[in-house]
Structure 1
């Protein structure tokens, strides 16, 4: 008899969390009993903890791995977003300049026809899913986030790439008024627009999503509103934010950090505790909110789902 083991992210389609019937108990657990005192409404309790009232309909993640979520406050107040600043603690304060109204996503390259997609219309075409994922930064810190998004494979099917498309390239919005560091010319931290890419088999893996929210609400600006990539087995810089352009290519894209410092960064950026960064170890990580470091897992704990993608590759060479 064949026993089919459901992947850690598997969820039944009838398990929908509605904004009208919000019952995400994980958030209530994060609030704590003190916040839910007699006479306080759920909305008031959420407001006291700076958690937005949920506004997305989505399929819940069962969290079969029993991951301990970071709080909304932690997730939204410690961010890398160089378009604003190199200070992780200041990003949230500076991100107000990001205007997502009328956001468009342009799709070109090796597709049947170029597309201009309205973000608000786009997400209505897909089923939103919650994915509770580990998120590991190349700098050695990590967190656990309840993302809300759509499977990238579903998006790819919708835009109809040509068979010779081997890679998919993403670009962040280029707008100096929204992103202060983009307007600093030669003094900018990195070259813009920010670019990332995936092999097509990585892109259509079931773990890969285009995230549009977290903790049941629309994506905060400092976390990459309105839409960002999430590839949980790779270091965080692969999960590009505020996506405005998507191109399908036959050649491997040159991503931003690979362009800036090819000695330290490669195309793949898979989480690998056995391959150190040239300037620090990757064997352990600091989880936000915890004092002691913990061991880093191969592929960030998602080996069962993705190790086959790299069979036969020298992972000390293809970094």
Structure 2
């Protein structure tokens, strides 16, 4: 199963079934269109990351009745992301003026007469208003079918775009995972080395103190106290559990990336856990090398977090 990004863009066009022109000069327009005798419909989908599925529609007046069907279509295909959908009729400049039907004109005339009987001062309808109302009152059934087809094509194109972007994100995250596993492996042998160095310092300090007091403390007692201090120090700086948990989180992230599907929220949680373990590792760092490893880990984890926020 693929991993999908929440970021993407797609456009599509569908022409009414009859009189489709072969002219495709407009396909490079922001909302692609084709000239037809009965019209064409252009659709656009834009998607960015969001915690939930957030849909917004910008539809021409003649397509507002399609919003429930369009909402159902988008909800069935997308689970997360802020998705903006645009749907507009495309009319070529040379396609002629819209032709109102006689029954539409009779209806408008009757309604205008009724309004003026009640409101004598009401302004008469202009030619522009007549054409607008006629176009909006009875959109072509074929044009509505073209609108839904454009929407379906656009959804499929956006899914493909989000899948391609998701595949790219997986490669980036896998590269970061590899780097983090390398850093975790480097941290493991550093703690025993730090404990050994500190133990040697404690022994030297107690030997110096023993000489200063002129033998008031036996060498065996000094040695025992030094080893006790070193053991307590080792407990304070032990990061073995943190490294093990960090490695487990990295393995789980790798598994989720291979599994695919809707893994964005779980990945986001695991990234937070990685950051917590890296912070603990830094706070316990007893050597400059461990501190540097912790810093490098947090940089990589932050880079992963930015990418994970785009995954559905």
Q: Which has the larger share of helix?
A: 2
Bigger strand fraction: 1
